[in-house]
Amino acid sequence: MKILFHEAGRTFHLYNDSISYIMTIMKNGHLGQLYFGKRIQDREDFSYFLETCERPMTACIYEDDGAFSLEHLRQEYPVFGSTDYRQPAVEVRQENGSRISDFQYQSHEITEGKPVLEGLPATYAENGQEAETLTVTLADPVTKVQVQLLYTIFAQGGIIARSARFCHMGGQPVYLTRAMSLCMDLPDHDYVWQQLSGCWARECRIRTRSLEPGIQSVGSMRGNSSHEHNPFLVLKRRSTDERQGEAVGFSLIYSGNFRMQAEVDAHDTLRVLAGIDPETFEWKLESGEVFQTPEAVMVYTDQGLNHLSQTFHKLYQRRLARGYWRDRVRPILNNNWEATYFDFTEDRLIEIAAKAKECGVELFVLDDGWFGARSSDTAGLGDWKANTDRLPNGITGLAEKIEALGMKFGLWFEPEMVNKDSDLYRQHPDWILSTPQRGQSQGRHQHVLDFSRKEVVDAIYAQMAEILNNAKVSYIKWDMNRSISECYSTAWPADRQGEIYHRYILGVYSLYERLTAEFPEILFESCASGGGRFDPGMLYYAPQGWVSDNSDAVERLKIQYGTSMCYPVSSMGTHVSVTPNHQVFRCTPLHTRANVAYFGTFGYELDLNKLEPDELWAVREQIAFMKKYREVLQYGTFYRLQSPFEGNEAAWMVVSADQKTALVGWYRILNCVNARYTRLRLQGLNPSYCYKNSISGSCHYGDELMYAGLITSDATAGQVPSEAEGYTDFESRIYVLEVAQP
Ligand code: DGJ
């Protein structure tokens, strides 16, 4: 890994074994983009990459150079209002109403490692050998605003992490009306765009389309990153698939309003922008003030989508997630939400926990309903004190009882919200986000606390810390069940109202930071009605997240498959729940529910007392299985093999780091009669290792399994089976492949 600056061509070359990223200082002082892709050899002068030609009807910067128009140049951080008519990365409004800026090169610095982004989640390097950072400082001569563009290249993988840091060195205040984290101008538009979109209980559907002239975008204006669109985007070549081909992934480490877009211009060049949604953002910079954008991560691969995802998985697992739980296998939990909803007593919880313990569960999680006047979703949020009618011994007493059973205890919070029917709201009605003289829309009967105010965050911290200091809590599920509306804070002046969405998220991050620092061994699981805020920003604080409120195994196949495009298995909260399923009312076999949930953190969302003896027996076996293989499942290399979006069967697999163990999950949605033969061509195995198949008992070399395939046909191929069991709808199998003779 290296970052070089060549004086001759005024070019920067960032490279490692996988990629090269090359830029130049153009004649107007702006940064021009020259190349991002597979590693190429270094040379003194790459400036020939900066193609210019004189085009008719073009506005140009210089009288004597008809070829130098920003409209036709690929740039690193394009401005609004000069000769570029595409969407800019940055826009600054002065007090006189001007919106033009002109950021020119001042200096640059190359440093080992990676700087921390203050107050924001970001990837990190543990030492100077893991990464190197280039900081290029540009300044606008009129406003005297400086922007530092940060580029980190990691030693391993095709990864570039980027962000921008503004510092106002002038006198008059200015307003940032757009400050994107990344602009990537690519020389052609011959890509297929792939996004992860959906809605509540139907998150992360993989959607693709060809890029066309104009702007295509995804984003959120809801205050949370959203169920609707994940802050993740892939551009892949038409011929690229899971196993081969070029692709670039863009991921924004942010949990609030965002935008990711691609603009194809008239000459088929492509501009990608990623950052805070400009529509809902404005930031006032007084003299001397600083604004740091969130970080965006770009990954390039020429080895297909699985490789792209694996690069993100590894980075986010090891150098975004932090702390005690980062590298540890996750406890198998039993959550009471779908078992009881709000209808529980201490005795009932102990009953559920005791049975879970008997089966081998390690952590009991008490979900919503334990505090204040919370007997339904109309009251109580904001009052984080145990409801002693239900829990006579409080959280302290309940936690003691759970610990006495030999399990860890976990607790649900929704720190950012308040019901009007709560003591907190009665004491501080002005602590919610709401616009003067306007109605206050509710969502699930709740309102959003004004986390742009430090005193509000402090008050919630104090309540949570009181619980955590007095009870043995080992896990927190941090929920967030509505988007923001009427976003306005009475604590801030009129000219800072454009800052509130972002300040809100900074408040959320600050509370996470405080709690994770103060209680470092608590495992945090983020949640926002399932995947409403399943994003890299959250992963920095909470190494796992509840992927979806939909716990149906068939639905989960799609949700987890889509989520795996960017996020590692260890980050996905996955539970076995009852049938008929509570979201889609489908009945799937117990083993299929577990076979899907194994590819995640794994747990149960039901009352095990209600299962039949044979089911309980199966649960015990599932838990023992998960304990045996969770290290590989959660930290192995994950491959998507067959997409549930494309057919009746789906499959994925993980392989251990030493390639001696692999687990293949195979799923068939509907049964077929007289079916074709089926095979799965596996990936990631050692071609010369011989693997024993746990289902057939036969041994096969890695090359057979990868190139010829694992045979998955069953007795329904060609005949009606004599025993129906195992040959029904929603069938699935886990093939464990273990090296017989390395
Ligand atoms: C939404 C979450 O996603 C559920 O798992 C559960 O915690 C409920 N909120 C509780 O209100």
Q: What is the pLDDT of residues 704-713, one digit of tens each?
A: 999 999 999 8
Q: Give the residue from 324, 316, 257 showing the smallest Cα distance to 536.
A: 316
The band of 674, judged by pLDDT with boundaries at 50, 70 and 90, is confident
Residue 707 pairs in a beta bridge with: none
Q: Which of 479, 535, 552, 607 is catalytic?
A: 479
Residue 386: band (very low, low, confident or very high) from pLDDT cuts 50, 70, 90: very high
> Within 13 Å, how many C-alpha atoms sit on residue 600's CB side?
29
Residue of 529, 550, 583 to test ligand 1 pocket, by largest number of atoms within 8 Å of CB: 529
List Cβ neighbours of 175 (8 Å cut-off, separation of 6 or more): 92, 93, 282, 283, 284, 285, 495, 498
* Nearest partner of 538 among 148, 255, 327, 740, judged by Cα: 255
Residue nearest to atom 11 of ligand 1 (CA): 368
Residue 528 Cα to ligand 1 midpoint, Å, equals 8
When pLDDT is averaged across residues 365-382 and rounded to a whole number, the result is 98
Give 368 Cα–ligand 1 centroid separation in angstroms.
7
The CA-based dihedral angle spanning residues 123, 128, 134, 137, taken in that order and rounded to the nearest 10 degrees:
90
Give me the pLDDT at residue 470, please.
98
| Catalytic position from the list 185, 302, 383, 549 | 549
Per the prediction, the chain carries an average pLDDT of 96
Residue nearest to atom 5 of ligand 1 (CA): 549
Q: What is the pLDDT of residue 324?
A: 98
Distance 220 CA to ligand 1 centre (A): 21
Residue 722 has pLDDT above 70, yes or no: no
**pLDDT level of residue 728 (50, 70, 90 thresholds):** confident
What's the whole-number mean pLDDT along residues 265-282? 97
Distance 435 CA to ligand 1 centre (A): 28
Q: What is the mean pLDDT of residues 164-179?
A: 97
Q: How confident is the model at residue 725 (pLDDT cuts 50, 70, 90)?
A: low
Q: Is 549 a catalytic residue?
A: yes
Q: Whose CA is nearest to atom 1 of ligand 1?
A: 529
Name residues contacting ligand 1 (CB within 6 A).
337, 367-368, 412, 479, 481, 527, 529-530, 546, 549
Residue closest via CA to ligand 1's atom 3 equals 529
Q: 422 CA distance to ligand 1 centroid (A)?
A: 19
The pLDDT value given to residue 720: 54
- Angstrom distances, CA of residue 372 to CA of 72, 342, 430, 448: 61, 13, 20, 17
Distance from Cα 676 to the centre of ligand 1, integer Å: 42
* CA distances for 325 relative to 2, 601, 612, angstroms: 31, 12, 34
Q: What is the DSSP letter of 515?
A: H
Mean pLDDT of 127-153: 98
Q: Which residue from 481, 482, 559 has its CB within 8 A of the most atoms of ligand 1, so it is best to mutate?
A: 481
**What does the longest C-alpha to C-alpha distance in the chain come to?**
86
